[in-house]
Amino acid sequence: MRLILRRSTTIWTTAIIIAVILCTSLLVFVYGRADAQNESIGRLITIHDRGQATVILSEAETIGDALEDADVMIDSRDAVEPVVTKKLVASEYQVNIYRARPVTVIDGSTRQKVMTPYQTAEQIVQDTGITLYSEDTTIIQRSDNLLADGAGLELTIDRATLFSFTLYGKTSETRTQAVTVGEMLKEKKVTLGADDRASIPMSTKLTAGMEVQVWREGTQTITVEEAVGFETEQIRDANRDVGYRTVQTAGVEGKRNATYEIDIRDGKEVARTEIASIVTTQPSRQNQRRSLIRAVGLNLSGWRHQIFRLKAGAMLISWSEKKVAGTLMRSTEVREHVDLRRHCRVQKSLATPTNPSIH
C-alpha cells in the first residue's frame, strides 16, 4: 500500500513540473511574438513641438532619424530632449523640441540679442556665455519694444554690489543686493556682539569697491590655512654636460591649518602668537637633476685660485731672490773696484822718487 502511494505522489509531482514548464514556454513564445510584431511595426514616438503632440511609429535607429522620417525640421540652435543622437532601444519615447527664439539680454548698459531655445534665465545666461553670480537677480518677460527687439523675450540682469568684506580677520570679495551696511550684515547673518566693531556705520550706503571690516576687540583665536613649502632634492649626474639642470618631478606645496592667538586694538592686530598647527596636506618633494661637472668645476676653480696664489708667491720669491743676487753682485763689483783703486794708489806712491834732502 505504501509503495502505491509513493508512486502516485511521484507521478503527480512530475506532472506539475511538466505543466509549469509548458506554461512558461508558452508565455515566452507569446511575448516574444508580441515583441517581434512591435519591432516589425515600429516604436511609438510622441513628439511635443510648439505646444502640439504628434504620435508616430518609426523603425529608425536614432531620435534624429525618427524626426527626419516624420518630416520634423530641427535647426542647429534648437534643443531636443532626448538628444538627436540617442539610440532607440525601447518601445516608446517622449521627445520634446524647444525652438530657438530671440531674447534680448540687458546687463547694465549692455544689450545683447541672442537666439536660444532655453526657458529659464539661468539656462539663457549660460547659453550666451555670461557669468551670473548667486547674488545677482534676473527678470524675464515679454519685450515691449517690438520695433527694436521683435516678438521675443527680454532678460534683465540686476547685478549685486561688489565690495571687500573682512570678517574677523578673513577678507573676501563679496556681493550683495542690500542697500546699507546694516542690511548687508543681516543678509549675511552676521550678528555683532558686545565686543564686536564695524569700520563703517550701519546706515552707510554700500557702493562698489567699498571696504567693510568687522572685528572683535581684545584677545581672540583665529584659524587660517597656510601653505607648507616643499623640499628640493638635487640629483648629480656625471653623464650630463656642464650647466645641465632640469626638474624631473615638480614639487607641490602642502597645506596646514594654523591657529593663532591675536590681540586686536581699534581694529588693528597688535600681537600674534601661534598656538597650534595641523598639516592637512603633506608637501611633495621636488626632484632636480643637475650635472656633476658643474659641482666639480666649482671645486676646481677654487683649486685654480690656490694654484694661482702659489704661482704668484713663487714668482715673487724668484723676483726677490734675483733682486738680492743682483744687489750682491753689484756690491762685489764695487768692492773689487775700490780694492783696484787702492792698489793703483799704492803702486803710484811706490813709483814716486824720494826727497834728496833726507839723504
**DSSP secondary structure of 117-179:** ---SHHHHHHHHT----TT-EEEEEE-S-HHHH-SSEEEEEEPPEEEEEEETTEEEEEEE--S
In a domain, 86, yes or no: yes
- Residue owning grid cell 780694492: 339
Q: Cell digits for 311?
A: 704661482
Q: What is the CATH number of the domain that holds 153?
A: 3.10.20
Of 98, 113, 135, the one marking the end of a domain is 98
Residue 347 dihedral angles phi and psi, to the nearest 5°: -65, -40
In this model, does residue 97 exceed pLDDT 60? yes
In a domain, 359, yes or no: no
In a domain, 115, yes or no: yes
How far is it between the farthest Cα atoms of the chain?
204
What's the confidence (pLDDT) of residue 8? 56
Percent of the chain with pLDDT over 70: 71
Of 141, 158, 175, the one marking the end of a domain is 158
- Rounded CA-CA distance 136/159 in Å is 5
- Rounded CA-CA distance 275/261 in Å is 7
Question: Model pTM?
Answer: 0.50
Contact status, residue 262 vs residue 272, Cβ threshold 8 Å:
yes
- The overall average pLDDT reported for the chain is 77
In a domain, 29, yes or no: no
- Domain holding 150, by residue range, is 101-158
Q: Quick one: how far is CA 189 from the chain centroid?
A: 31
For residues 109 and 81, membership in a common domain is answered with no
In a domain, 119, yes or no: yes
In this model, does residue 178 exceed pLDDT 60? yes
For residues 85 and 126, membership in a common domain is answered with no
| Banded pLDDT at 206 (limits 50, 70, 90) | very high
What's the confidence (pLDDT) of residue 161? 95
For residues 60 and 106, membership in a common domain is answered with no
In a domain, 309, yes or no: no
Domain count along the chain: 2
In a domain, 337, yes or no: no
DSSP 174-226: EEE--SBHHHHHHHTT----TTEEESS-TTPBP-TT-EEEEEE-EEEEEEEEE
What's the confidence (pLDDT) of residue 248? 80
Of 118, 121, 116, 117, nearest to 134 by C-alpha is 121
In this model, does residue 321 exceed pLDDT 80? no
For residues 78 and 117, membership in a common domain is answered with no
Of 139, 158, 177, the one marking the end of a domain is 158
Angle subtended at Cα 127 by Cα 123 and Cα 133, rounded to the nearest 5 degrees = 60
For residues 107 and 153, membership in a common domain is answered with yes
In this model, does residue 184 exceed pLDDT 80? yes
Q: Helix (H, G, I), strand (E, B), or coil: what is residue 357?
A: helix
Neighbours of 119 (CB within 10 A): 13
Q: Helix (H, G, I), strand (E, B), or coil: what is residue 259?
A: strand
Q: Cell digits for 73?
A: 525640421
What's the confidence (pLDDT) of residue 342? 60
| Residue scoring higher pLDDT (101 or 39) | 101
In a domain, 25, yes or no: no
Q: What is the pLDDT of residues 47-62, one digit of tens each?
A: 999 888 989 888 889 9
